[in-house]
Amino acid sequence: MIKIYTSAALTLGAALLLPLSAFAASCCGGGSGASLLLPKFRDLSVGVNLAYEKYDGFWDKDGLWHQDPDGSNLSQSRLGLGVAKRINDNWQVSLSMPYVWNDNQYANNTFKTSGIGDSSITVWYEAFDEITCTWVLDTLEDYKPAMYFGASLTVPTGISPYDDVQNNFDITGRGFYRLDLKALFDKTVYPWNASIALNYGKYLKRSINREYGAYVAPYDKNLGDRFSSSISGGYTQFLKEGDTITYTLAYAYMQEGKATIDGLVDETSGVQKKGFSGTAAWSDESKSTVVKLTYAYTPHYHNWGQNFPTTSALSLGVNYVYD
């Protein structure tokens, strides 16, 4: 059994920050959205997302950044599958599931593992009845954004430290259920768009009697509450025959509180991460096909994270929307 504490946060990258933005579409279609969402009045959407994430250093619990040991080469690849289905005019539901490949060399040790990651199911309510995208702002109604309110359940279908694993690099999930409340505000005034996303999650406490394959005395554990937010802005370029390319820049923040073990706070836990991303999304005239390329980056500076790796990630997503 090998526990590599300084890189334990690597396993959180897959579970916490799976880039679902490659599935996204705004309320009027295209690629400016910030989550797995159906455009208004569309019935069904299916998407595939392939991501490659390179790990390079980490923040400790005090927010200080450290380089990985010489000779380290840490990466993770993910294949995400997503589907969204409209229930009625204002409600929709979505399901996503990743498959994860870990390929790591760390401190003269080599690890190659793969498995399903944690899955999620989300229900969204659209607090608007008509498409809110507009070309001009003539009336008060033109200023109204598309407002989404939702709830999601993360299901621990991935491999966690509490399964039959040998080290942190075998892990593809957290091992906990989590309930989230979500809000998304999106506005497009062509050719510009902007969005704000908010998310607050609570994990469900569970009993544990095994760690890294070894059975231990049973205890109760719960992870800290999780808050994340992002803000983005973009520009849409109109091509011949009605095709578009939307360019988006985003800033994201994520924080998770300290865990508890049998009701006592684990002072070594708690994570935080700040980062940036840039996206280019091509859409056809009908807004039925979206191809999205995203690059995400976390700065290698002190106090930009806590108990988390610094990474760069490239993802390519293809999404098809049915009427």
CA distance 163 to 281: 39
Residue range 25-66, pLDDT digits in tens? 567 766 555 457 899 999 999 999 999 999 999 999 999 999
- Per-residue tokens: 185: 């505000």
pTM over 0.85: yes
Domain ranges (residues) in the chain? 5-322
**pLDDT reported for residue 205:** 97
pLDDT digits (tens, 9 = 90+) for 149-207: 999 999 999 999 998 888 778 899 999 999 999 999 999 999 999 999 999 999 999 99
Angle at 48 (CA atoms; ends 79, 161), nearest 5 degrees? 30
Q: What is the pLDDT at residue 35?
A: 57
- Give the model's pLDDT for residue 6: 44
> 5-322: which CATH number, 3.30.70.20, 3.30.565.10, 2.40.128.130, 3.30.1360.80?
2.40.128.130
* Percentage, residues of the chain above pLDDT 70: 90
CA-nearest of 83, 196, 180, 193 to 148 is 196
Determine the number of helices (DSSP H) and then strands (DSSP E) in the chain: 1, 19
Beta strands, E only, 89-213 = 91-106, 109-116, 119-126, 146-155, 178-189, 192-203, 206-211
**pLDDT at res. 173:** 93
**SS3 at position 131:** coil
What pLDDT was estimated at residue 167? 78
Half-sphere exposure of 175 (CA within 13 A, CB side): 24
Residues 5 and 144: their CA atoms lie apart, in Å, by 48
